[in-house]
Structure 1
């Protein structure tokens, strides 16, 4: 899980994230990465790829605290609490994958820049998958008070409605018929 393995990078511990997040298809996912005070004012960005070097840049800040957007993904730097927040709206199955919270530390920003990076694996749960909402927390705290918010959506399995219909119109009458037959025989 250590994105700095094998590299001499003194900034590796200066950026922390949740490591793994999951969201439900069609909802909004918020990912928070916390950075060291020394990186206040630096440009932050969110990119996708198996490795932090050469990952595809999706959205980035311009050094301020305004929300920057690219499609359904936005980023905001909260300098007061040293946190960058990435928001992925209308989450889809194809959004699952490996992403990186990154801080631009190089003067020249290209594919080979070795910026401070923290890996975040995103998993998307399909909306048709039965989910028990009490088992999926809305907020979970990770190391160093970094939290992620997962918008929860209670999804009912189509089988739940079918089971209710079978219970009322088939199982209950059969049970009552058997019960009446037992009382009639015992009479």
Structure 2
């Protein structure tokens, strides 16, 4: 008769891994159990231990989902590996060896060993590596363009020159009409006023600067 925790099967009482990583549990057994089936199960509240993976007969390795079990009879141990850990993987598990009446005699219970699996958040190194990998893959963020003045190409400059000439010509014409022409007319009027003929009291025309008699 073998009770849980007996020395027929031993292993680590607690193992710790990080989210996204893998961890392995090594369970050591006695030589008489070399040919027995090995299993890994999870403790259930008010229920029998739920077997996750178990070898059968001559099988030396069995996998199910993210969990695999590999038996090493020559080393008298088997290894359970949990890959891509999640927070939900944390809990109480058991390494176990299946026994039978015909083969194992007086053993009434399977030799088992209790293992507590603890899962911590992703390590800072893993997070930094993931962030760096994401940066290399995605590249630097695209920055918004700054408000700048629109650039003017040579073609646009050449197209603007005739328009500027036309505008300057229009301005010159307006100056000519509204400033120069009235100025010339004023000067002409002043000249005519100075050179106008003078008429005497009897209707005789007098030249400017002469005195009437």
TM-score of the alignment, normalized to the shorter chain, above 0.5: yes
Question: What is aligned with 1:126?
Answer: 121
Asked whether 1:21 is paired with 2:8, we answer no
Aligned residue among 33, 54, 73 for 2:27:
33
Map of 2:86 onto structure 1: 92
In structure 1, how many angstroms separate the alpha carbons of the residues matched to 2:85 and 2:4?
34
Q: Could you tell me how far apart the structure 1 residues matched to 2:52 and 2:4 are?
A: 25
| Contact 1:98 1:119 (8 Å CA) reproduced | yes
List runs of 5+ in structure 2 lacking aligned partners. 103-107, 129-213
* Match in the other structure for 2:153: none
CA shift, 1:114, in A, is: 2.6
Q: Which runs of 5+ in 1 are unaligned?
A: 1-6, 131-152, 157-187
Structure 1 or 2: larger helix share?
Answer: 2
Residue 111 of structure 2 corresponds to residue 116 of structure 1? yes
Query: Which of 75, 79, 86 matches 1:81?
Result: 75
**Alpha-carbon distance, 1:38 to partner:** 1.0
- Which structure has the larger Rg over C-alpha atoms? 2
CA distance in 2, matches of 1:115, 1:48: 15
Distance in 2 (alpha carbons) for counterparts of 1:11 and 1:98: 14
Secondary structure of residue in 1 paired with 2:60: coil
Alignment partner of 1:48 out of 28, 38, 42: 42
Q: TM-score, normalised by structure 1?
A: 0.59
Deviation for aligned residue 1:10: 9.6
Give the Å deviation of 1:66. Answer: 2.9
Displacement of 1:106 after TM fit? Answer: 3.2
Change (3 A) 1:94 1:27: same
- CA–CA distance in structure 1, aligned partners of residues 91 and 5 of structure 2: 24
Q: What SS does the corresponding residue of 1:42 show, helix, strand or coil?
A: coil
Counterparts of 2:4 and 2:24, CA distance in 1: 27
2:210 aligned residue: none
Higher strand share: 1
**Residues 1:44 and 1:123: Cα distance change in structure 2 (over 3 Å):** same
Q: Which has the higher contact order (CA 8 A, sep 6+)?
A: 1
